[in-house]
Structure formats: structure tokens, C-alpha cells
Amino acid sequence: MRRLALLPLLIALGGFVPADADVASSRSGGLGTRVNGALGGRCSSGVCRIDGGSAGGSNRFHRLSEFDTRGAIQGVSIDSDGVRNLVLGVTAADGSFIDKSVSLTSPAHLFVLSPGGIQLMPGASFQQIPQLTLSTASQLRFSGGVFDVFSTPATGVAGLAGDPLPGALGLLPGALGEKRPWIRMDGISIDVDEALLVDAPGGRIDVEGSRLSVSNAAGDGGTLTLTGELIRVGEGTELLATGSGKGGLVQVGGSWQNSDASVRQASQTWMQAGSLVDASSTGHGAGGTVVIWSDLNNLNGGTVVEGSLLARGGPLGGDG
């Protein structure tokens, strides 16, 4: 099997915190998003509260010019107002930096669309968010149209009702320049009840020394998917979709035999030694499904698995 030569890491995540780390909205073009009660508001300490936005059916849309929780910020609370889907577009060229709790006031599917990149660091967590999508896509397609992170006006979201199209069918990349999108998760531990999708179309995902879990101690395991051009699951990382009923589904780099068009194919996928994927049943039920994949038609691509893959049946009964 061809040894992968993944792109070198060009950005180091040290203890550096920029002086202007904050959460901010724009007064013009901000979709009515308020930060701490103000249009064009800015929060650099304490709990940053986001409300307002623009509605499209059971969906609410926000636009932030900055989403950086480092420094004196203690957390981010977003008023979800009983909506089904909450879409948060981040226009910052350097992307989003999250090292604090992000919570909703009521359960909803949270989409964080940050074309400049996403970095999750120790302290990051997500509350009241049963389904979470983190993506560097610049557009999100609905049956009634497309939401653009940078350009859709408040008047343009009214027709974007219903759920967005799933996965790669809905998450659309913009023009890819010299700087490719990057999602990095370093030393984090996050739990999502039902589904976690991390998506970097045309870009790279690195997960290092982290625990990502959609496990369920009172039912079937959830769905955990990592999709992008290049994916590296580093040493000490655990991707967990266990369940007391059936095990869940973990997809890294694609779907089973590329059978699901909504799951983007990677060109290179690398699970390093010391990493773990576990979709086992912990009670009474069948083991789940683990897929580690890359595009078979890409001559420069490949898949390397040096970590451990588990999908065991339950100790109380069930096939593995």
C-alpha cells in the first residue's frame, strides 16, 4: 500500500492568544445577529450571548465577523428559540477558534460554517446540540435555495425552510485558493448525542490526541463522520460511537464502498498508530459499522490504518 505523504502542518497552535480575540457581528450584512444585545456587537470577556438573526421556516441564520473564544471569554450562549436548525456563518478570513463551551438555549442542529478554517482546542464543548456540523463550506443548500456565508441578505433566507440537504449534497465549497481549508482538533473531548459531521471540502482535517463521541449509554450509538480531501487521525485520538443497544456508524474519508453520495470522499486518509475507532455495542445489540476510506480512483491517494478498529457485539448478546 502506498505510504501517504500528507501536507506538512504550517500552523502551530501554541499558547498565543491575539489581543483582539472576540465574538463579533457586523451591523451591516449581519442578518440581524446581535452579540450581547447589540447589532454589530462585540464580546471579548465573560459569556458572549448571541440572539436575533433571520428566520427561514424552522431555521435561524446568523452571521459573525469573528468567532474566537480564546482569552477572557468564558463561553458562548446562542438563543435557539425552539428552532430545528441553527446556521452560524463565520466570515473571518482566519477562521474560528473555539476553546470554551458553546451552548444553545434549546436543542437544535447547529451548523458552524467557517470557510477560513476551524480550530478546536482544550476546553471546547457543545451543549444542547444533539446534532453538530462543523464545516469550511461557504454555502449550505436547501430545497428552496442556497445560503451563502458571505452574501445572503436577511431577505434571502425566508425561502430556506425545511432541513438542508445532507452532507456533501448540502455543504458546498467556494473557490479554493492557495490557502486550503483546515479543521484542526487538538486535545479536545466532545460529546454529541446523535450525529457529528466534520467536513473540510477540498481541505484537510487533523484530529490529534482528542476524543470525539456520539456514544449512547441508553440506546443505539450515533453517527460520526469526518470528510475532506486529506484526513489524519493522530495518536491518542478516540472516535466513539458505542451504544447500549446497537453500535453506531463511524465514517472517516467516505462511506461504505462509496455508496452514499452525501458522504464526501477523501483522497488520503491516515489513521496513525495509537488511535482508536469503536462502534461496539456495550449491552445487548449488534456491533456497528466502521468505514475508513479514500477515493480508489485517485492515483495519488491512499488509505493507511495503523490504529485499532472495533465493532463488537454486546456482551449481553449481539453479533460483531
Q: What is the pLDDT of residue 41?
A: 96
Q: What are the residues whose beta carbons fall under 8 Å from the beta carbon of 205, sequence distance 6 or more?
A: 182, 183, 184, 185, 198, 226, 227, 228, 230, 231, 232
Which residue has cell 448540502? Answer: 170
Domain edges within the chain: 20-118+135-162, 176-320
pLDDT of residue 5 exceeding 70, the answer is: no
- Residue 306 one-letter amino acid: E
pLDDT of residue 180 exceeding 90, the answer is: no
Burial of residue 273, with CB atoms counted within 10 A of its CB: 0-12 exposed, 13-18 middle, 19 or more buried: exposed
Q: Are 76 and 110 in contact (CB under 8 A)?
A: no
pTM for the whole structure: 0.94
The span from the CA of 318 to the CA of 310, in Å, is: 14
pLDDT of residue 280 exceeding 70, the answer is: yes
pLDDT of residue 10 exceeding 90, the answer is: no
Q: b/e map of 190-206 (b: 16 or more CB within 10 Å)?
A: bbbbbbbbbbbbbbbbb
At residue 29 the predicted structure's pLDDT band, cuts being 50, 70 and 90, is: confident
Q: Are 289 and 313 in contact (CB under 8 A)?
A: no
Instruction: Say which CATH architecture domain 176-320 belongs to.
Output: 3 Solenoid (2.160)
pLDDT of residue 319 exceeding 80, the answer is: no
Cell numbers that stand for 286 in this block: 449488534
Q: What is the pLDDT of residue 13?
A: 41
At residue 185 the predicted structure's pLDDT band, cuts being 50, 70 and 90, is: very high
Per-residue pLDDT tens for 94-116?
Answer: 999 999 999 999 999 999 999 99
Q: What are the residues whose beta carbons fall under 8 Å from the beta carbon of 84, sequence distance 6 or more?
A: 58, 59, 108, 109, 163
pLDDT of residue 127 exceeding 70, the answer is: yes
